[in-house]
Chain A
Amino acid sequence: MAALVAVAFAPFLALQPNRIVSGEGFTLPGLPAAWLGLPLATLLAACAVAAAFAHHAALQALAGAAGALAALLGAGLAATALLPAGATLARVSLGSGFWLVTGAFGLILADALVKLRGGPLVRIVLAFAAVGAVLAVLAAGLWDDLSIMREYAANRDSFWQQGARHLVLVGGSLAPALLLGIPLGYLCHRHAAARGAVLAVLSVVQTVPSIAMFGLMMAPLAALAAAYPALGAAGIRGIGLTPALLALFLYSLLPVVANTVAGFAAVPPAVVEAARGMGMGSLRRLAGVEWPLAFPVIVTGVRIVLVQNIGLAAVAALIGAGGFGTFVFRGMGQTAMDLVLLGAVPIVILAFFAAVVLDAIAGRAQGRPA
Chain B
Amino acid sequence: MITVEALTKTFGPVRAVDGISFELAEGEALALIGPSGCGKSTTLRMINRLVEPSAGRVLIDGVDTAGMPSATLRLRMGYAIQGIGLFPHRTVAQNIATVPRLLGWPRARIAARIEELLDLFGLPPAVFARKYPHELSGGQQQRVGVARAMAGKPAVLLMDEPFGALDPITRTRLQDEFLAIRRRMGTTVLLVTHDMDEAFKLADRLAVMEKGRIVQLDTPEALLRRPANAFVESLTGSEDRGLKLLSLAGVTGLLGPAGDWTPAEDGAFRKAGAGRAHAPVSASATLREAASRLVFAGVTELPVVDEAGTIIGAIGMERIIAFGGGDR
Q: How far is the CB of A295 from chain B (nearest CB, A)?
A: 9
B98 at the interface (CB under 8 A from A): yes
Which of B75, B88, B135 is A278 in contact with, Cβ under 8 Å? B75
| Interface flags, B62-101, vs A, CB<8A=1, else 0 | 0000000011111100110111111111000000001100
Specify which of A271, A273, A279, A368 lies most central, judged by the most chain B CB atoms within 10 Å of its CB: A279
B83 partner residues in chain A, CB cutoff 8 A? 268-270, 273-274
B193 partner residues in chain A, CB cutoff 8 A? none
Cα distance A272–B72 when bound, in Å?
Answer: 17
A85 at the interface (CB under 8 A from B): no
Which of A269, A277, A293 is B74 in contact with, Cβ under 8 Å? A277
Docked-complex contact B81 and A280, CB < 8 angstroms: no
Docked-complex contact A270 and B81, CB < 8 angstroms: yes
B132 partner residues in chain A, CB cutoff 8 A? 369
Docked-complex contact A276 and B99, CB < 8 angstroms: no
Listed by A's residue number, 28 A-B pairs whose Cβ atoms lie within 8 Å are A269-B83, A270-B83, A270-B85, A271-B85, A271-B86, A271-B87, A271-B88, A273-B81, A273-B83, A274-B79, A274-B83, A274-B84, A274-B86, A274-B145, A275-B87, A276-B50, A276-B74, A277-B50, A278-B75, A279-B72, A279-B73, A279-B75, A280-B98, A281-B71, A369-B88, A369-B89, A370-B88, A370-B134
A225 partner residues in chain B, CB cutoff 8 A? none
A289 at the interface (CB under 8 A from B): yes
B102 at the interface (CB under 8 A from A): yes
| Interface flags, A354-370, vs B, CB<8A=1, else 0 | 00000000000000111
Q: How far is the CB of B10 from chain A (nearest CB, A)?
A: 22
Assuming the contacts A269-B83, A270-B84, A271-B88, asked whether A277 and B98 have C-beta atoms less than 8 A apart, the reply is no
* A273 nearest in chain B by CB position: B85
Assuming the contacts A270-B81, A277-B50, A278-B98, asked whether A289 and B71 have C-beta atoms less than 8 A apart, the reply is no
A30 at the interface (CB under 8 A from B): no
Top 7 closest pairs, chain A to chain B, by CB: A270-B83, A274-B85, A277-B79, A279-B74, A270-B85, A369-B132, A279-B75
B135 partner residues in chain A, CB cutoff 8 A? 369
Docked-complex contact B71 and A293, CB < 8 angstroms: no
Q: How far is the CB of B133 from chain A (nearest CB, A)?
A: 8
A292 at the interface (CB under 8 A from B): yes
Q: How far is the CB of B41 from chain A (nearest CB, A)?
A: 11
B134 partner residues in chain A, CB cutoff 8 A? 369-370
Cα distance A277–B98 when bound, in Å?
Answer: 12
A274 partner residues in chain B, CB cutoff 8 A? 79, 81, 83-87, 145
Docked-complex contact B79 and A278, CB < 8 angstroms: yes
Beyond A270-B85, A272-B85, A274-B85, 9 additional contacts (C-beta under 8 Å) are: A269-B83, A270-B81, A274-B84, A277-B74, A278-B98, A279-B74, A280-B98, A369-B135, A370-B89
B71 partner residues in chain A, CB cutoff 8 A? 279-281
A279 partner residues in chain B, CB cutoff 8 A? 70-75, 99, 102
Docked-complex contact B85 and A293, CB < 8 angstroms: no
Cα distance A278–B74 when bound, in Å?
Answer: 6
Q: How far is the CB of A291 from chain B (nearest CB, A)?
A: 10
Docked-complex contact A368 and B85, CB < 8 angstroms: no
A268 partner residues in chain B, CB cutoff 8 A? 83, 85, 88
B48 at the interface (CB under 8 A from A): yes
A289 partner residues in chain B, CB cutoff 8 A? 87
Cα distance A292–B94 when bound, in Å?
Answer: 14
User: Chain A interface mostly helix, strand, loop or mixed?
Assistant: helix
* B95 nearest in chain A by CB position: A274
List CB contacts (< 8 Å) of B99-158 with chain A: 99, 102, 132-135, 145, 148-149, 158
Docked-complex contact A277 and B88, CB < 8 angstroms: no
List CB contacts (< 8 Å) of A241-297 with chain B: 268-281, 284, 289, 292-293
Specify which of A276, A368, A370 lies most central, judged by the most chain B CB atoms within 10 Å of its CB: A276
Specify which of A273, A274, A276, A284 lies most central, judged by the most chain B CB atoms within 10 Å of its CB: A274
* A271 nearest in chain B by CB position: B85
A273 partner residues in chain B, CB cutoff 8 A? 50, 81, 83, 85
Q: How far is the CB of A94 from chain B (nearest CB, A)?
A: 48
* B88 nearest in chain A by CB position: A370
B82 partner residues in chain A, CB cutoff 8 A? 270
Cα distance A268–B132 when bound, in Å?
Answer: 16
B50 partner residues in chain A, CB cutoff 8 A? 273, 276-277
Cα distance A273–B82 when bound, in Å?
Answer: 11
* A282 nearest in chain B by CB position: B71
A284 partner residues in chain B, CB cutoff 8 A? 102
* A279 nearest in chain B by CB position: B74
Cα distance A277–B46 when bound, in Å?
Answer: 11
Q: How far is the CB of B146 from chain A (nearest CB, A)?
A: 12
Q: How far is the CB of B99 from chain A (nearest CB, A)?
A: 5
Cα distance A163–B287 when bound, in Å?
Answer: 86
Assuming the contacts A271-B86, A292-B89, asked whether A278 and B102 have C-beta atoms less than 8 A apart, the reply is yes
Cα distance A268–B99 when bound, in Å?
Answer: 20
Cα distance A276–B50 when bound, in Å?
Answer: 8
Cα distance A275–B50 when bound, in Å?
Answer: 11
Assuming the contacts A270-B81, A273-B83, A279-B71, asked whether A293 and B89 have C-beta atoms less than 8 A apart, the reply is yes
Cα distance A289–B90 when bound, in Å?
Answer: 9
* B89 nearest in chain A by CB position: A292
A369 partner residues in chain B, CB cutoff 8 A? 88-89, 132-135
List CB contacts (< 8 Å) of B197-251 with chain A: none
B78 partner residues in chain A, CB cutoff 8 A? 278
A270 partner residues in chain B, CB cutoff 8 A? 81-85
A269 partner residues in chain B, CB cutoff 8 A? 83
Cα distance A35–B150 when bound, in Å?
Answer: 80
Q: How far is the CB of B74 from chain A (nearest CB, A)?
A: 3
Cα distance A10–B88 when bound, in Å?
Answer: 54
List CB contacts (< 8 Å) of B35-56 with chain A: 48, 50
B70 partner residues in chain A, CB cutoff 8 A? 279
Cα distance A292–B132 when bound, in Å?
Answer: 15
Q: How far is the CB of B39 from chain A (nearest CB, A)?
A: 18
A368 partner residues in chain B, CB cutoff 8 A? 89
List CB contacts (< 8 Å) of A316-366 with chain B: none
